[in-house]
């Protein structure tokens, strides 16, 4: 698996383009420059199937296909069993966290967050994956 | 100072996108009043507030987060069927939406919004706890006190600190045993009791899952929305922003009026089109078409002017800071100088005002320092001791002219030539062929300074070339007129706007290119026998003036396919030349579009012709720079390949 930060290809999924830009900028700050975006789960799923992504960061609440459904769709496909998925949400509501954990999310991050927090989350996930 | 230093771009993005969202929410609310049970609508509105809240969090707009959070919770209950939309709730929701918009206005002004009306917050909380009745719509003062037992709102998401970070590991362990985050934990495949029973009931260590979850969430009792409330009304006066512009409403009305008229004319055209398509091409119809198109022409150019005018600012705003600068400078040099302003009401494009500031300062410094004499010299010359520097602006046709004129000693062309020669900036040959005007323009060459001892005021001649470069960047030109003993004038000529550039369309083969019309003096036929080689470069004599001639194909590095038929006599600040072309199409007002992301050498931008064709606008200065020192091409360059071979 890639060691070079720029080799890790991220997919940011959020319906709010400002938010995609924020996440993209935070990733850039951390040296992750290989980033693509999708405006909802359905578009993200299309892009994922085309292949080439190593990491998904997705919002929860989105039209067409929400983040949780996207996560479930990903985990149901043998091709993406090991694809790390970081869930972003505005709430630290326990129901949300439980649902995310049950669906197999690799991590969970609450808005708003800083680059440092994001880095911490990513590092943890990378460690687990042995990257 | 803005509350959003370093985040301006983010703030702008957020405001644009969030305002759209809010407008969308507004529309949905209107629909909701008709269909109060529409789950889809409720969900969409919920998501609108939710999204705004998320973005506001990154901007640290605490009060906006609080307001959206409460409203969102309300919609969460509504969409889950826990509550129903009542007129009272609808009123609160509409008030909350208005308050969100009000907060956007604060953000637009670059300030953190103050807390929402406590009455509104109390009503939202009351609505959430199901305690809202019509009576709660009492005056805000009565509603100031929140209900004694408000329904506990979900904790505010705050900037994550380790203490309140949900402990993902612990949570995951609680739910999935000790496996940790592993991809094999596809929940659908794992035969886990959680799938059947609620997760709170069991856990590996026998502790109530609820407790672990609470711990994992790092939930603190003290977590309350709006704890970081900004002081009320802070910096309410700082609503200025650089990228805004104040426009006279009369001008906006004119724009509106014109766009309305264009709409009407367009309707007329549509109807004429139908007529023509249906075969009605009699004289009357064609006449009406001709008339309507002419009218549209007029209206569009009026509209362009009107829109341009919204960007125009009186140049006096720029001028007013100069008298002080001139006075201080004169005093430090022991001179008595008065700066006289004229034409301050002349209007000029806002962006140009900013870019003109430095060049004008430099010209004024130059006039005070080099232009005017010391009081003693002036006395000897029989001039009044007090010298006058005039800074004047006026509109001449489609140009703005700015003049910096002094009544000083004037410039000596002979001396300037000698100086340039001595510094190796020009050759003997060049010096001998230079006229008065060309000689004066020598001061714009990089590295030219006529003062033996450079003063710390005007520097070492590093300024004048920068002045000219800056003026040229604005598609303008600068010229000098000087009379020895009487004074010197610098004349800056600028286009009214940067948006529209009149161009001449020339052809190389069948490919059109645009060159700035401001440089074109005349178009003449070119015959090969008129092209003479002088000193290794092709030249042509036009009314006694020997001018270099460059085939456009040569400048662009294309292969010549035929001998050029026409020449365009062009003039830059430094020299005149003839651009040899295959043909020309005419003039056009080009709307310059820059090439996104890259800029090929010699191309200033692109424009679209009336027939939809895209044409490159050539930057003649850059193209000529490539020719190097000799600024010439051999006569052979005119001959196409085949002819050379034969």
Locate the chain A residue with the closest alpha carbon to B184.
A81
CATH for B358 = 3.30.565.10
Contacts of A15 in chain B (CB under 8 A): 47, 51
Q: Are A16 and B55 a contacting pair at CB < 8 A?
A: yes
- Segment B36-49 shows an average pLDDT of 87
The pLDDT of residue B404: 94
Residue B169, in any domain of the structure: no
- B482 shares a domain with B446: yes
Q: Which of the listed ranges B13-27, B107-121, B433-447 does the model predict with the highest average pLDDT?
A: B107-121
Per-residue pLDDT tens over the stretch B222-273: 333 333 333 333 333 333 335 667 677 888 899 999 999 999 999 999 999 9
- B504 shares a domain with B491: no
- Where do we find the tokens 């002349």? B346
- Segment A77-86 shows an average pLDDT of 90
Residue B347, in any domain of the structure: yes
Q: At what angle do helices A17-29 and B39-58 cross, to 10 degrees?
A: 30
Q: Are A112 and B159 a contacting pair at CB < 8 A?
A: yes
The C-alpha of A21 sits at a distance from chain B's nearest C-alpha, in angstroms, of 8
Q: Are B187 and A83 a contacting pair at CB < 8 A?
A: no
B325 vs A127, more confident: A127
The pLDDT of residue B79: 87
- Where do we find the tokens 């000689």? B439
Contacts of A102 in chain B (CB under 8 A): 175, 187, 194, 199
The pLDDT of residue B129: 85
Per-residue pLDDT tens over the stretch B260-297: 999 999 999 999 999 999 988 899 999 999 999 999 98
- B627 shares a domain with B603: yes
Contacts of A107 in chain B (CB under 8 A): 168, 181
Q: Are A112 and B58 a contacting pair at CB < 8 A?
A: yes
Per-residue pLDDT tens over the stretch B517-571: 888 889 999 888 888 888 778 888 888 888 888 888 888 888 777 788 899 998 8
- B568 shares a domain with B551: yes
**In whole angstroms, what is the distance from residue B260 CA to residue B269 CA?**
14
Neighbours of B541 (CB within 10 A): 12
**In whole angstroms, what is the distance from residue B499 CA to residue B47 CA?**
41
The number of helices, as runs of H, and strands, as runs of E, in chain A is 5, 5
Per-residue pLDDT tens over the stretch B412-429: 888 888 888 888 888 888
Contacts of B18 in chain A (CB under 8 A): 18
B491 vs A93, more confident: B491
The pLDDT of residue A3: 64
Per-residue pLDDT tens over the stretch B340-369: 899 988 888 887 887 888 889 889 988 998
Neighbouring residues of A39: CB distance < 8 A, sequence distance ≥ 6: A13, A14, A15, A17, A20, A62
CB of A18 within 8 Å of a chain B CB? The answer is: yes
- B480 shares a domain with B421: yes
Range of the domain at B359: 331-450+458-495
The pLDDT of residue B452: 45
B126 vs B430, more confident: B126
The C-alpha of A117 sits at a distance from chain B's nearest C-alpha, in angstroms, of 7
The pLDDT of residue B226: 37
B156 vs B14, more confident: B14
B457-496: b or e for each residue (b if 16 or more CB lie within 10 Å)? ebbebebbeebbebbeebbbbbebbbeeeebbbbebbbbb
Contacts of B180 in chain A (CB under 8 A): 128
* Chains A, B: CB pairs < 8 Å: 115
Residue B525, in any domain of the structure: yes
The pLDDT of residue B172: 67
Q: Are B181 and A125 a contacting pair at CB < 8 A?
A: yes
Q: Which of the listed ranges B148-152, B213-217, B376-380 does the model predict with the highest average pLDDT?
A: B376-380
Q: Are B17 and A93 a contacting pair at CB < 8 A?
A: no
Q: Tell me the two tokens of residue B503.
A: 């161009």
Nearest CB to B14: which of A18, A61, A101? A18
**In whole angstroms, what is the distance from residue B203 CA to residue B15 CA?**
45
Contact (CB, 8 A) for A85 and A44: no
Q: Are B187 and A104 a contacting pair at CB < 8 A?
A: yes
Nearest CB to A61: which of B47, B57, B199? B47
Q: Angle at the Cα of B594 (from B590 to B595), degrees rounded to 5?
A: 125
Binned at pLDDT 50, 70 and 90, residue B632 comes out as: low
- B548 shares a domain with B405: no
**In whole angstroms, what is the distance from residue B589 CA to residue B607 CA?**
9
- B464 shares a domain with B438: yes
Q: Which helix (H) or strand (E) holds B327?
A: helix B322-332
Asked if the model's pLDDT at residue B159 lies above 70, the reply is no
B441 vs B211, more confident: B441
- B428 shares a domain with B346: yes
Nearest CB to B54: which of A72, A90, A93? A90
Q: Are A18 and B168 a contacting pair at CB < 8 A?
A: no
The pLDDT of residue B2: 64
- Segment A92-103 shows an average pLDDT of 83
Residue B206, in any domain of the structure: no
The pLDDT of residue B231: 34
Residue B165, in any domain of the structure: no
Burial-class residue B250 by CB neighbours within 10 Å (0-12, 13-18, 19+): exposed
Locate the chain B residue with the closest alpha carbon to A121.
B168
How much of chain B exceeds pLDDT 90, in percent?
13
- B531 shares a domain with B628: yes
End-of-domain residue from the set B119, B141, B163? B141
End-of-domain residue from the set B76, B109, B141? B141
CB of A34 within 8 Å of a chain B CB? The answer is: no
- Segment B484-498 shows an average pLDDT of 86
Asked if the model's pLDDT at residue B336 lies above 80, the reply is yes
CB of A9 within 8 Å of a chain B CB? The answer is: no
CATH for B576 = 2.40.50.180
End-of-domain residue from the set B114, B141, B168? B141
Mutate to test the interface with B, among A54, A63, A67, A112 (most CBs of B within 10 A): A112
The pLDDT of residue A70: 94
Contacts of B219 in chain A (CB under 8 A): 92
Locate the chain B residue with the closest alpha carbon to A66.
B47
CA dihedral (B465, B470, B473, B476) in degrees, to 10, reads -90
Binned at pLDDT 50, 70 and 90, residue B317 comes out as: confident
Q: Are B154 and A124 a contacting pair at CB < 8 A?
A: no
Whole-angstrom CA distances from B554 to A59, B563, B582 are 56, 12, 12
The C-alpha of A4 sits at a distance from chain B's nearest C-alpha, in angstroms, of 22
Which segment of A10-24, B193-207, B446-460 scores lowest on mean pLDDT? B193-207
Q: Tell me the two tokens of residue B256.
A: 């509106």
Binned at pLDDT 50, 70 and 90, residue B175 comes out as: low
Residue B151, in any domain of the structure: no
Contacts of B194 in chain A (CB under 8 A): 102
Contact (CB, 8 A) for B445 and B419: no
Nearest residue to A10 (alpha-carbon basis) of A29, A40, A41, A33: A33
- Segment B47-60 shows an average pLDDT of 88
Nearest CB to A104: which of B186, B213, B217? B186
- B386 shares a domain with B533: no
Per-residue pLDDT tens over the stretch B62-82: 899 999 989 988 988 888 888
Helix (H, G, I), strand (E, B) or coil at A88: strand
- Segment B615-632 shows an average pLDDT of 74
Q: How many domains does chain B have?
A: 4
- B611 shares a domain with B488: no
CATH for B88 = 1.20.120.160
Q: Are B199 and A117 a contacting pair at CB < 8 A?
A: no
The pLDDT of residue B173: 65
Q: Are B186 and A76 a contacting pair at CB < 8 A?
A: yes
Q: Are B18 and A94 a contacting pair at CB < 8 A?
A: no
The pLDDT of residue B277: 92
B437 vs B292, more confident: B292
The C-alpha of B149 sits at a distance from chain A's nearest C-alpha, in angstroms, of 21
How much of chain B exceeds pLDDT 70, in percent?
76
Q: Are A92 and B168 a contacting pair at CB < 8 A?
A: no
Q: Are B157 and A72 a contacting pair at CB < 8 A?
A: no
Neighbouring residues of B124: CB distance < 8 A, sequence distance ≥ 6: B67, B70, B71, B74, B92, B96
The model carries a pTM of: 0.41
**In whole angstroms, what is the distance from residue B8 CA to residue B10 CA?**
5
The C-alpha of B459 sits at a distance from chain A's nearest C-alpha, in angstroms, of 41
Residue B224, in any domain of the structure: no
The C-alpha of A119 sits at a distance from chain B's nearest C-alpha, in angstroms, of 12
Contacts of A91 in chain B (CB under 8 A): 154, 157
- Where do we find the tokens 């008709």? B34
Locate the chain A residue with the closest alpha carbon to B56.
A112
- B347 shares a domain with B482: yes
The pLDDT of residue B174: 65
Count, residues in chain A: 131
**In whole angstroms, what is the distance from residue B587 CA to residue B502 CA?**
7
Residue B15, in any domain of the structure: yes
The C-alpha of B230 sits at a distance from chain A's nearest C-alpha, in angstroms, of 18
- pLDDT, mean over chain B: 76
The C-alpha of B98 sits at a distance from chain A's nearest C-alpha, in angstroms, of 21
Global ipTM: 0.79
Per-residue pLDDT tens over the stretch A13-64: 998 888 898 899 899 888 898 999 999 999 999 999 988 899 999 998 888 8
- Segment B492-521 shows an average pLDDT of 85
Asked if the model's pLDDT at residue A121 lies above 50, the reply is yes
């Amino acid at each position: 698996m890639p060691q070079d930060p720029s080799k890790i290809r991220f997919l940011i999924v959020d319906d709010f383009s400002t938010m995609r830009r924020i996440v993209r900028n935070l990733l850039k700050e951390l040296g992750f420059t290989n980033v693509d975006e999708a405006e909802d789960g359905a578009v993200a799923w299309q892009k994922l199937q085309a292949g080439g992504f190593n990491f998904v960061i997705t919002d929860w609440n989105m039209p067409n296909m929400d983040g949780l459904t996207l996560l479930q769709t990903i985990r149901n496909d043998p091709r993406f069993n090991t694809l790390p998925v970081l869930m972003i949400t505005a709430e630290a509501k326990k129901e949300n966290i439980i649902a995310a954990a049950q669906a197999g999310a690799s991590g969970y991050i609450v808005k708003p967050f800083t680059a440092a927090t994001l880095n911490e989350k990513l590092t943890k996930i990378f460690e687990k994956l042995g990257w | 100072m803005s509350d959003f230093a370093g985040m301006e771009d983010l703030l702008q993005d957020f405001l644009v996108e969030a305002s759209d969202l809010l407008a969308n929410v507004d529309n949905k609310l209107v629909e909701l009043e008709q269909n109060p049970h529409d789950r889809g609508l409720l969900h969409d509105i919920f998501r609108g507030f939710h999204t705004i809240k998320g973005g506001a969090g990154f901007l640290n707009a605490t009060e906006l987060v609080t307001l959206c959070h409460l409203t969102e919770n309300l919609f969460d209950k509504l969409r889950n069927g826990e509550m129903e939309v009542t007129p009272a709730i609808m009123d609160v929701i509409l008030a909350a939406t208005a308050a969100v918009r009000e907060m956007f206005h604060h953000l637009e002004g670059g300030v953190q919004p103050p807390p929402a009306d406590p009455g509104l917050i109390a009503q939202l909380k009351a609505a959430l706890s199901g305690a809202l009745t019509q009576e709660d719509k009492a005056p805000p003062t009565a509603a100031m006190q929140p209900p004694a037992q408000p329904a506990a709102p979900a904790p505010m998401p705050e900037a994550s600190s380790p203490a309140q970070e949900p402990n993902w590991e612990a949570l995951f362990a609680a739910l999935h045993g000790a496996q940790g985050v592993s991809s094999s934990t596809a929940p659908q495949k794992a035969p886990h009791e959680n799938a059947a029973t609620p997760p709170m009931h069991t856990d590996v260590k026998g502790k109530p899952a609820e407790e672990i979850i609470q711990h994992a969430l790092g939930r603190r009792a003290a977590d309350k929305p709006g704890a970081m409330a900004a002081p009320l009304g802070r910096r309410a006066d700082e609503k200025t922003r650089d990228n805004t512009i104040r426009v006279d409403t009369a001008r906006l009305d004119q724009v509106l009026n014109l766009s309305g008229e264009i709409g009407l004319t367009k309707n007329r055209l549509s109807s004429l089109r139908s007529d023509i398509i249906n075969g009605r091409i009699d004289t009357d119809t064609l006449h009406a078409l001709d008339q309507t198109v002419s009218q549209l022409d007029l209206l569009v150019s009026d509209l362009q002017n009107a829109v341009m005018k919204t960007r125009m600012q009186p140049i006096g705003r720029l001028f007013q800071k100069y008298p002080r600068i001139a006075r201080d400078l004169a005093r430090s040099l022991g001179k008595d100088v008065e700066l006289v302003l004229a034409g301050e009401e002349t209007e000029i494009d806002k962006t140009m005002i900013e870019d003109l500031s430095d060049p004008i300062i430099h010209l004024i410094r130059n006039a005070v320092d080099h232009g005017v004499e010391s009081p003693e010299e002036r006395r000897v010359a029989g001039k009044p001791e007090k010298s006058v520097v005039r800074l004047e602006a006026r509109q001449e046709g489609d140009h703005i002219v700015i003049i910096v004129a002094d009544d000083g000693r004037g410039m000596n062309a002979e001396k300037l030539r000698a100086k340039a020669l001595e510094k190796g900036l020009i050759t003997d040959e060049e010096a001998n062929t230079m006229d008065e005007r060309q000689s004066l323009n020598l001061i714009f060459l990089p590295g030219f300074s006529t003062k033996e001892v450079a003063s710390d005021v005007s520097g070492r001649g590093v300024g004048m070339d920068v002045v000219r470069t800056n003026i040229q960047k604005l598609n303008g030109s600068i010229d000098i007129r000087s009379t020895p003993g009487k004074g010197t004038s610098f004349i800056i000529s600028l286009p009214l706007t940067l948006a529209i550039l009149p161009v001449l369309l020339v052809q190389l083969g069948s490919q059109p290119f645009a060159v700035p019309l401001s440089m074109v003096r005349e178009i003449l036929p070119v015959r090969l026998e008129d092209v003479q080689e002088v000193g290794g470069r092709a030249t042509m004599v036009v009314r006694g003036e020997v001018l270099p001639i460059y085939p456009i194909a040569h400048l662009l590095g294309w292969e010549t396919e035929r001998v050029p038929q026409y020449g365009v006599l062009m003039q830059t600040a430094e020299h005149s030349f003839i651009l040899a072309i295959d043909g020309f199409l005419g003039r056009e007002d080009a709307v310059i579009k820059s090439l996104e992301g890259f800029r090929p050498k010699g191309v200033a931008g692109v424009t679209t012709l009336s027939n939809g064709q895209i044409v490159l606008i050539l930057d003649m200065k850059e193209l000529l720079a490539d020719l190097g020192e000799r600024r010439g091409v051999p006569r052979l360059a005119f001959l196409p390949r085949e002819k050379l071979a034969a």
